[in-house]
Amino acid sequence: MADFLGLMKQATQLQAKMAEMQAELDQITVEGTAGGGMVAVTMSAKGDLKSVRIDDSLVKPGEKEIIEDLVVTAHADARRKAEALMAEKMKGLTGGLPLPPGLKLF
């Protein structure tokens, strides 16, 4: 029974740390780029898109589809970076808690 109470205490501590981390992730931004930096997106570490930047040289008649594809690619790059950052933060947070492999807490 003592092990269960200890586990519950760890879970409560983890929940508090998770709330702190979620607030922190709202403040951290990552940038993804495509086309050699001609398109860039900035998003929060939680995945909220904050801005899109497109180089003026890309805005030519008939090239709208290219720009749209580059924006999607840049967003995917930023999203991968955000997910890697979140995974690293979670690794430090759950270090002592015996969680099943693959369990996602966010």
pLDDT, one tens digit per residue, over 5-30 is 877 888 888 888 888 888 888 888 99
**Superfamily holding 24-93:** Nucleoid-associated protein YbaB-like domain (3.30.1310.10)
pTM of the model: 0.56
Give, in order, the Cα–Cα distances in Å from 5 to each of 10, 38, 44, 89.
9, 54, 36, 25
Domain boundaries, the chain: 24-93
Rounded distance between C-alpha atoms, residue 72 and residue 35, angstroms: 11
